[in-house]
Every structure is written in C-alpha cells, then in structure tokens.
Amino acid sequence: MDNIRISIDSELCTLCGQCVAVCPRGIIELTPDSARIKNPDRCMLCGHCKSVCPVDAPQIHALNMGEFEPIPGPEKNPEPDDLLSFFRSRRSTRIYKKDAVPLNLLDKMVQAGRFAPTGGNRQPVRYTILHTPEMIEKTRTLTHQYLADEADKILETAEQHKTTGVPLPPRFGVRMGYAPLWKSMGKNYRKGKDLLFHFAPAVAVLHADPDISSPFCADIGLAAMQMVLMAQSLGLGTCFCGFLVTAINNCPELKTALKIPTENNAVLCFMIGYPDIAYLRMVSRQPGLINYL
C-alpha cells in the first residue's frame, strides 16, 4: 500500500459517478463493479473525488486522510457583508509591540497558506519564518548592506549617464528613486529607526522554484493573502516588504543565511507582530477599473 497514491474502495463504491465527473484529469472510470483509477500516476492529489463521494470510497494514501474533514454547512459561512468588512479592516502595520509571536500562531498562519490553491495542485510554495531576534538582526544587517551597495551602483550609473551619455537600464527611474532611501536605511537603524522591518518580531518569506510551476508568483500571492488574513483573525498585524525580496534574490549570502535553495526565488515577504496602534476606520480605495463583458 505504501506505493499506491490513490485507490477506490470497491466495497464502498455505489457507482454514483460523481468522482468521474469531478476529476480534473479524467483518470477515473466506472466499471460494472466499482469506480476505478485508470491512470493513478497522473493523479494530482487534488482530492475532489474524495470530497464529492457520498460514501468516502476514494482512498488517497499519499495525503493525510484525516485532513479530509466534513465541510461545515452554509450556516457556518460568514455573511458576505461581514466578510467584506473583515477584508477592509486589514491595514499594513508598521508599529509593533515588542511581544514575540508564539510559534503556534505562526504555524496557524502557515497552515492557512498551505491550504491555498496552486496551479495544477503542484504546491510549490516554501515558507521561511524568521522569529528569533538573532536571525532577524542578521537578515536586517545583510539586507542593509546589500541595499546600500546597490544604491552606490545606481548613483554611479546615473553619474555615468550624466557625464558620458551611457544609456540607462530599463526601469532605472524606479530604482533611482529608492537609492537615497537605501543608502540611509542602515544609518537610520543605528539611530533607532527601523525602516525595513519596523521592529516586527517575526518575518515570513515565501519562495519557490519557478521551474516547478509556471504561475508560482500567483501561487505565492494566494498563499500569502490567506496567511495575512489569518493573522488578522489572530489579532496580529502584517506588512509586506518588497526590499527584502529584492535583497534575497540578488544577494547569495543572504539567501544562504536564510537556507533558501539557490534555485528558488523569493516572491513575497511580510512582517508579523502585535500592532501597537489601533486603526478605527476601514480601508478606502479608488474605484475599481472593471469591464463586465
């Protein structure tokens, strides 16, 4: 049984055919006696067949079958307006209490990300959670060093363009806008102002090998949003940190320190902590740009 990924319990199967209809890969067929997995190696372990079966005949041995718990009834669903209000209640937090975030809460956030959908159910997302002061300080130091060095290169390129007319790289204006900030971040931190992590007690890094799944950026975005919404429900604040993403993907020393595989790209990072500020009003945004066709 150890080598069998998925099977159908023929003694339970009632030949209702729902598993056949719902299988994304079309690898289930009905025989006179039972449904059958005709090509188990192509199963992507989505669990749809098990989820719809009224008698729980599909057995997915490659997964933890204890996680296939019954879905709560619609009476357990939040009201749509309440759910939208919950979404709009989340704001980026840049003022944190010094209290550490318990590991069980960080793990609950990771579980929220783990159950997010991914392309082809490939589940390429990997999670690195920084929660010790020593690791956060090391990451902050290496990031400040990289950003300051990068700022010097940007300013040098701008000067060469000014004096010799050397063409500027694509999107140079965006990086040029960040250069003064990057040069000052380390100095500001030594003066007691953390413009990178805002003294958050935990930081999450979501990364993946882009060769495993083509929409890995979308996969990570879906996982990250479920994580920050879980954080919101736990009374935690979060704030995304693009500067750390830039540093990880361009500084091998930092990637090694975080034990992120060389082939993986960091896509999203965010700080986590207990807010030391209370927001009293929900988010407002510009009108959505929508075409109903």
Q: Specify the range with the lowest mean pLDDT, choosing from 146-155, 167-176, 228-237, 284-293.
A: 167-176
User: What is the pTM (predicted TM-score) of this model?
Assistant: 0.92
Q: Give, in degrees to the nearest 5, the angle at Cα 164 between 161 and 166.
A: 50
Confidence of residue 208 (pLDDT cuts 50, 70, 90): very high
The CATH class given to the 6-67 domain equals alpha beta
pLDDT tens for 48-95 read 999 999 999 999 999 999 999 999 999 999 999 999 999 999 999 999
* pLDDT tens, residue by residue, 216-240: 799 999 999 999 999 999 999 999 9
pLDDT at 114: 97
pLDDT for 2: 54
pLDDT of 215 above 80: no
Q: How far apart are CA 198 and CA 189, in angstroms?
A: 10
pLDDT in tens, 14-60: 999 999 999 999 999 999 999 999 999 999 999 999 999 999 999 99
Cβ atoms of 109 and 128 within 8 Å: the answer is no
> What percentage of the chain reaches a pLDDT higher than 70?
99
| Domain 88-277 superfamily per CATH | NADH Oxidase (3.40.109.10)
Q: Which amino acid is at 288?
A: G
* β-pairing verdict for 237-240 and 6-8: unpaired
Q: What average pLDDT does this structure show over 177-193?
A: 95
- Dump the DSSP string for the chain: -TT--EEE-TTT-----HHHHH-TT--EEE-SSSEEES-GGG-----HHHHH-TT--EEETTS-GGG-PPPPPGGGSPPHHHHHHHHHH--B---B-SPPPPHHHHHHHHHHHHTS--GGG----EEEEE-SHHHHHHHHHHHHHHHHHHHHHHHHHHHHHHHH-PPPPTTHHHHHHHHHHHHHHHHHHHTT--TTTTT-SEEEEEEE-TTT-TTHHHHHHHHHHHHHHHHHHTT-EEEE-HHHHHHHHH-HHHHHHTT--TT-EEEEEEEEE-BSS---S----PPP-----
Residue 161's pLDDT band, with cuts at 50, 70 and 90, is: confident
pLDDT at 130: 98
User: How do the domains of the chain map onto residue ranges?
Assistant: 6-67, 88-277
What is the identity of the amino acid at 62? A
State the chain's mean pLDDT as an integer.
95
